[in-house]
Chains A and B, each alone.
Chain A
Amino acid sequence: MQKNLEFWKRFCRNKGAVVGLLIIVAVILMAIFAPLLYPDSPWKLVQRPFIPPMELDGYWFGTDTLGRDIGAGLVHGARVSLLVGLTSTVVALLIGVTLGAFAGYYGGLVDDGVMRFTELFQTVPNFALAIVLVAIMQPSVESVILAIGIVSWPPVARLVRGEFLSLRSREFVQASMVLGQSNARIILTQILPNTLSPVIVMTSLMVATAILLESALSFLGLGDPDVMSWGYMIGAARTVLRQAWWMSFFPGVMILLTVLALNLVGEGLNDAMNPRLARKSR
């Protein structure tokens, strides 16, 4: 309890992190209350096409090529962008941290085996692999999440493995080994906590990357066609960039804000977990 309080105190000392957290909370609330804010489906053709923002009451964000409300799209899009971003990152972390820890800690054959496996995934350009996976599984929210998760874990594995490799030869780990602590205990209590901060920094980046990957897939026509996402909106706006800047501008801003917020929060967490560093940098 006391520890939690300390953590929060340190987290809140980073103003950027607090702002980030507020934005995230706002986006999450938006996603939850989307049906109340905009009861109609974001796909519904509600007005004439290409209404610029602030021109017509009730359509503050303008309308798109077919006369759909951009505002509705933004609010409903928060749901799937967050869902895809978070879920696929969890998938990637589960795979990546596990494999990376094993490889880096045990070294030798285990390391070889895992790293060869990682290299398989890593050596194929991951964006292309994501497209192939989505194409095979048919584009849908699930296949997009899975594909992004599957292509995103190798950096985590390599990072964690690199940290393990480097930390393993450190004195404090060597000492624990000499003292005869179990491997699991050393991994979980000695090494893993020390790798957390780069992993956390990476996680926040990964959620962002996942959101960007999803938009890139939609850009190429491989998103879930039944779900309105920010990525889809930018993809659809691309051909009319000159005529309707607002169509890509607003979803772009949403992505930017969300990604920015995620990063700020990540940094706040980093500060809160690495008190020495945090004190130094303030």
Chain B
Amino acid sequence: MSYSASRLRTLSITLIGCLIVAGCAASAKNSIFFGKTEPPRDNILRYVSGSEPETIDPQIPNAQNEARICLALYEGLAEYDPKTSEAIPALAERWEVNKDSSEFVFHLRHDGRFSNGDPITARDFVYTIRRGLTPETGSRTASFAYPIKYAQAFNESDVLVFDSATKIYLLEKDFEEGNSQTLAAMPLSSLPFKSIAEEYPVAPAGNSAMDTAFHQFMHSPARLVLPKSEKDRKKILDKNPKLNNAVAGKQFVPVKAEDVGVEAVDDYTLRISLSQPAPYFIGMMPHQFFRVLHQKTIEKFGPAWTDAANIVTSGPFKLESWKYYDRIVVTRNPMYWDAGNVKLDKIIFYLLAENTTMMSLYKAGELDATYNHTVPSAWLDVIGPLKDFMDAPEAAIDYYNFNTTKGPTADVRVRKALNMSLDKKALADWRHVKALTAMTPDGIFPGYPQPKGDPFDPEKAKRLLAEAGYRDGAGNFDPKKFDATEIELITNPDSNNLSYAEFILAQWKQNLGVTIQLRPMEAKTFFKAQSALDYKGVSRTGYAADYTSRCSTKPIAQSIISNVINYWLRLNNCCWTRSP
């Protein structure tokens, strides 16, 4: 999963921790620290963010190792708050939101500059968002911009339907299946524009009141969008005869970059129109997909624009060198608008993925900090109590899926029994994490408590299994009747995944007397087996949040319901959070 706000927090906390450790503890006894505690020679942070990045083009990759490097190199309209992870002003000094959160006006700071000295204007943001959505860019995170009007249609290379006789486009609202959308249900951004004062609780200043032609286009009802490929289009048309008739003889016009709802009202005012109300949209602005890029460099060098010789960045650091598979060095960007507050001269990102190698480097004093989850599980008992171990909270969950389509786990009683025979609290205490009963941990959103879930109750678990048919003559649960070879636990073999899995298997052994096999699989083989439901019993998933909003966890809920476990929500207390 991609960049998580709280991981940034971890980074900054770890960083501060290390500087303090390095600065004042040189004379302290080494035994209370895991690493070497000599003060560093230079003002340089030596850090590990994971393996070699796919690219440092922030709009393409979707993993965390790249995200942390992109954070140093690029700046967006907003930045993550170091404490709460919420969006705080960055290149946008302030912003206004209309009454139903379907249109946003950003006011850019006038002193924003790229690393080559070019000013950063609203036009650069328009370019950046359009470029990320262009199908040829191949962005893995383009769907983050889908709330923007026509963004999804452009990214999917869809077409609009144009009637050349009447010179008008067909509209979506005329062909809605079921009830056609009433005017009241439509977002403000798709209704005729009245006035700034009526639509905005706080009226935006300056030119943002300007009702441009593009703005009027945005405020007109959404046009009908159809797939470009004839085959896909036919599927939709066949289902909707009314639509099929209306489309006959009409012209198909591809959705263009210029149709996407981003507009530079003037040099320093950016207006973004959404296709639906989305209060969470502002929380996504710090995401790397929305961080501003330099148009001329990208157009001049193509994919080679990220080479150290060519790259132009917008963040607090610029790229000094990238030695592939070895290290990326970023150095202070003097053009950065807040350069005065950048304390580090350089950051060296060592590009490596082996946890034990990182730990060795750290212990030998070659490294100042690493990203989270790098302490191998088995070492946690030794390293956990030491002073340079940072235990910062993180919004990430681990959970186990049951395959409900075959084997014993097709029976809800078996799933409940396996769940209720796990002492999650013991696991959580052992691994410094929190036991969960739902996807959204307590405290992430005020007033959003977790459902209770089933309690730890091995006796009831045994009764359920007996009911499910695994019983002896007396009607009691008989582990011998339970064919454990029909169930296995599959996971990708990250060392921590394995130690969690072993703990869980030991619990099942201890509480139910059944021995379930662990089958570690190479990552991509595992993901394939998992999504194809090609496994017996139980599989493991992990997920980290990208931005703060209730919606951030929605995609998993969907994917679980659609392709992993149908009854998950009824049995959803098999997950917990992890911290580093």
Whether both chains belong to one complex is answered with no
Taking beta carbons and an 8 Å cutoff, which residues of B are in contact with A?
Answer: none
Taking beta carbons and an 8 Å cutoff, which residues of A are in contact with B?
Answer: none
